[in-house]
A and B are shown apart, each in its own frame.
Chain A
Amino acid sequence: MEYPVQSGFRQQPEVRMRGAPVDPGDPRLLFDDTSAGGIGHRQALLSDPVSNLAMVYGSSLASHGREMMDQNLDRFIPISKLKYYFAVDTVYVGKKLGLLVFPYMHDNWEVSYQQDTPVAPRFDINAPDLYIPVMGFITYILVAGLALGTQNRFSPEILGIQASSALVWLIIEVLAVLLSLYLVTVNTDLTTIDLVAFSGYKYVGMIVGVIAGLLFGRMGYHLSLLWCCVSIFVFTIRTLRLKILSEAAAEGRLVRGAKNQLRMYLTMAIAAAQPVFMYWLTFHLVR
């Protein structure tokens, strides 16, 4: 019997028995030969099944490991839920970016639902997504590197430092919002990923500010950052109002009561934190 190479694995060259006088058609002959004797060049023959076996075992181990990793990964990071946040298209991203910079003309801020599940961001501009925050974060790091590079303060470690500090501030902010939502006992359908998305929208304003600062100097930086801060403030209030406040208050009617007032303050606090972070994370980049 012979062992053809085509088993889909990359077998070692010695698997092909060069010059081994084996009748290709008869499998039993092989085994008879090895049992009869001849250790020398038959060793190559005998190691072939072992190496094949080892290879197959190794590959099955690898596939086992991969399955285990997939299962465990799904426990920590819900991949299917994440896919919802990335179901975007170019039109949505364009409109959303416009909304982040100029939210004053938009009237309907409600997220539309389809049989109890929120519609994908592709079809509803008010739905949160994760594409813009992730891309914004990465772009912010690169723009920060560029800004520091123009001031001759660049080294590759700086990128890592910027990235980790921005990430940590994001985590702190999301945890603080979660904690305050818990303390105020708001019944809302805001998930953690939603909060990450909303907190990530400020990177767009930060990038605009830093680029304006690079092109037009400090005055350009301050003006554009001011504009973006106000826009993000309005955007956050209008988006979160519908999620946190009760129905009546969200419609604008004045509803008295400590609960609603507390929720109003909470919304304003979250919205006010955005400009603070925006300034904190960018002022050292523009000189």
Chain B
Amino acid sequence: MTRKFCCYFLTRSSSPGRLTVLLAMSGFDKLDADFYQSSFSVDDQNQGGGGYSNTDVQYSNPYGQYDYSQPMGYSAAPGIMQPQQPYTGQIFQPTPAFTPASTQSMYSSSFEDEPPLLEELGINFDHIWQKTLTVLHPLKAADGSIMNETDLAGPMVFCLAFGATLLFTGKIQFGYVYGISAIGCLGMYCLLNLMSMTGVSFGCVASVLGYCLLPMIILSSFGVLFSLQGMLGIILTAAIIGWCSFSASKIIISALAMDGQQLLVAYPCALLYGVFALISVF
């Protein structure tokens, strides 16, 4: 087996990519036995960065299960994956313990068994709807675990909808919307990391702030019907800014278990949504 490898290597490959791969692969045949018992845990692996890849991991947890594994970040990864060492089988295998849901068990290579597109993208409409309802009922207590899924699909939709309603009034300001959301999310991320005991990931902050943009869409759609610069518009604007920041602070407080700081979190949220309101009104 190994000889065949070497022969193949000498005769076929010339690119360094294949060289490293084949060097790595040479370890495989020794490790057949523990292929499917690897302890590589996908949960720890990729939490801090890309939002959409988290949802796949999180979606498999039953709803309501408290999972505060988010701050772990990349720290688990480098210890396992050093590219200089010959590859073990760990990278290419999920752990059997990781996939409780039957729909996400080993995917075979055939086309019919591929996961549905939405599931693969991590867009879970039910959860999106749950979170939207949480935002729309500001007086109802929030569940602390709902923001464990870093879901950026919903916020993206809301940003696009906000930009679209602004478009109806003749303001083509998608760039401002995205820019202000990015800067605001960055500021809130720094502030929340400094204020809370546990840290918070950027995806979580972006997700919460994006979901709570929903009432602002209502404001800008009113702006299509009548001008918001009168007294009624000012009152409506103030009420909606209060609504947005109240629900954002409520969700953040319940997710991070910060006591006695709701108004302190609500104030920077109110500043951020105030800037969005400025864009809608003027």
A149 to B229, CA, bound (A): 13
- By a CB distance below 8 angstroms, the chain A residues around B267 are 135
Contact with B along A15-46 (1 / 0, CB 8 A): 01111101010011001101100000000001
**Is B194 a contact of A82 with CB atoms below 8 Å?**
yes
Contacts known (A10-B53, A66-B73, A86-B194); A20 close to B99, Cβ less than 8 A: no
Q: Shortest Cβ distance from A237 into chain B, in angstroms?
A: 28
Q: Is residue B35 contacting chain A, with contact meaning CB distance below 8 A?
A: yes
Which residue of A7, A60, A135, A142 is within 8 Å of B82 (Cβ)? Answer: A60
**Is B73 a contact of A90 with CB atoms below 8 Å?**
no
Q: Shortest Cβ distance from A4 into chain B, in angstroms?
A: 5
Q: Is residue A281 contacting chain B, with contact meaning CB distance below 8 A?
A: no
Which residue of B7, B82, B91, B108 is within 8 Å of A2 (Cβ)? Answer: B108
Contacts known (A135-B267, A142-B274); A35 close to B8, Cβ less than 8 A: yes
Q: Is residue B93 contacting chain A, with contact meaning CB distance below 8 A?
A: yes
Which residue of B25, B35, B48, B83 is within 8 Å of A56 (Cβ)? Answer: B83
Interface SS of chain B: helix, strand, loop or mixed?
A: helix
A257 to B200, CA, bound (A): 53
- By a CB distance below 8 angstroms, the chain B residues around A59 are 46, 74, 77, 81
A52 to B83, CA, bound (A): 11
**Is A10 a contact of B109 with CB atoms below 8 Å?**
no
Q: Is residue A74 contacting chain B, with contact meaning CB distance below 8 A?
A: no
Q: Is residue A153 contacting chain B, with contact meaning CB distance below 8 A?
A: no
Contact with B along A55-70 (1 / 0, CB 8 A): 0110110111011000
Q: Shortest Cβ distance from A153 into chain B, in angstroms?
A: 14
Q: Which residues B71-120 have CB closer than 8 A to chain A?
A: 73-75, 77-78, 81-83, 87, 91-94, 98-99, 104, 106-111, 114-115, 120
A87 to B21, CA, bound (A): 50
Interface size class of A (residues with CB under 8 A): 35 or more
**Is B271 a contact of A142 with CB atoms below 8 Å?**
yes
**Is A16 a contact of B46 with CB atoms below 8 Å?**
no
**Is B21 a contact of A89 with CB atoms below 8 Å?**
no
Q: Shortest Cβ distance from B179 into chain A, in angstroms?
A: 10
Q: Shortest Cβ distance from A190 into chain B, in angstroms?
A: 21
**Is A63 a contact of B73 with CB atoms below 8 Å?**
yes
Q: Is residue A255 contacting chain B, with contact meaning CB distance below 8 A?
A: no
Q: Is residue B37 contacting chain A, with contact meaning CB distance below 8 A?
A: no
**Stretch among B124-132, B133-141, B230-238, B257-265 lining the A interface:** B257-265
Q: Is residue A131 contacting chain B, with contact meaning CB distance below 8 A?
A: yes
**Is A18 a contact of B91 with CB atoms below 8 Å?**
no
Q: Shortest Cβ distance from A50 into chain B, in angstroms?
A: 5
Can you name 12 A-B residue pairings with CB atoms under 8 Å?
A: A4-B106, A6-B56, A7-B94, A10-B52, A22-B109, A27-B28, A28-B32, A31-B5, A56-B81, A56-B91, A60-B83, A62-B49
| Partner-A contacts on B (CB < 8 A) | 1, 4-5, 7-8, 12, 17-18, 20-21, 24-25, 28-29, 32, 35, 42-43, 45-46, 48-50, 52-53, 56-57, 73-75, 77-78, 81-83, 87, 91-94, 98-99, 104, 106-111, 114-115, 120, 191, 194-195, 259-264, 267-268, 271, 274-275, 282
